[in-house]
Every structure is written in structure tokens, then in C-alpha cells.
Amino acid sequence: MGAGTPPPPGVGTIGAVPSFSARVDITHLPGIADPAGATVERALPALGYTNVSQVHVGKTIRLVVEADSAQAARTQVEEMCERLLANPVIEAYEVTVS
């Protein structure tokens, strides 16, 4: 698959078990400082973008999960977020399953 060609959306299969694409968007919890966002926000005016505020820099994790249903996949990815993918002490996460 070449660069720029996204995997096909929706339900796929790995063997006999359905698989689901999941995306995890991780951001800072409200009230937790975001140094990368603040630095980007300070850099943009140098390029003439003086009308920008509230810049946040987070991270995205994409994964494919074999599961019986989209809901089962979501539940499992949310568990992964709590245990490893995010740090709930300072980060919020949003799981999108397709």
C-alpha cells in the first residue's frame, strides 16, 4: 500500500474474526499545561498568523483490533487507554471505531 493510500474503512477481517480500525486521540486534560501547544501558538504569529489561540498538541494512535463487534473493540481499546496508551493522570482520550 503506497503512502497516501488509507486502509479501507469499516469492517475488515483477519482470518475468521472481524477486525475494526480504531483511532485514539490523546489530549491534555483541562487545566494541565500543554507546553508543545503553547510553543506552537507562540511560533504562528512569526508567520503572520496573529489570529490564532487555544493551540493544543496531542497525539493520535491508530490500531486494528479483532473483536466480535465494534462495541467490543471499543471497550477493549478504552481499557488499553486506561492501562497504557494514555496517562489518565494528565491526559484525556477519545476512541473512534470504524
Partner 1 sequence: MSARIGVVLFPGTNCEQDVVWVFERLGARAEILWHGDATTKAVDAVVVPGGFAHGDYLRTGAIARFSPVMQAVAEHAAAGGPVVGICNGFQVLCEAHLLPGALQRNAGMKFLCETVELRVETTETVLTNQAEPGQVLRIPINHFEGNYVCDAATLARLRDEDRVVVRYVDNPNGSLDDIAGICNEGRNVVGLMPHPERASDEILGSADGLVMLRSVLASVSATV
Q: Which residue has the cell 496531542?
A: 58
- Which of 14, 17, 29, 64 touches partner 1 by CB under 8 A? 29
CB of 25 to partner 1, least distance (A): 15
Task: Using alpha carbons, select from 50, 55, 79 the residue that is nearest to residue 67.
Answer: 79
- Which of 4, 6, 10, 31 touches partner 1 by CB under 8 A? 31
Please identify, among the stretches 11-19, 44-52, 64-72, 86-94, the one whose residues bind partner 1 according to the rule CB under 8 A: 86-94
46: contact with partner 1 by CB under 8 A: no
Count of helix runs (H) and strand runs (E) in the chain: 2, 4
State the Cα–Cα distance between residues 57 and 36, nearest whole angstrom. 6
- Which of 90, 94, 96, 98 touches partner 1 by CB under 8 A? 90
Given CA atoms 82, 84, 90, 92 in this order, what sign does their dihedral have?
A: negative
Q: Which residue has the cell 493520535?
A: 60
56: contact with partner 1 by CB under 8 A: no
Size of the site for partner 1 (CB under 8 A): 13
69: contact with partner 1 by CB under 8 A: no
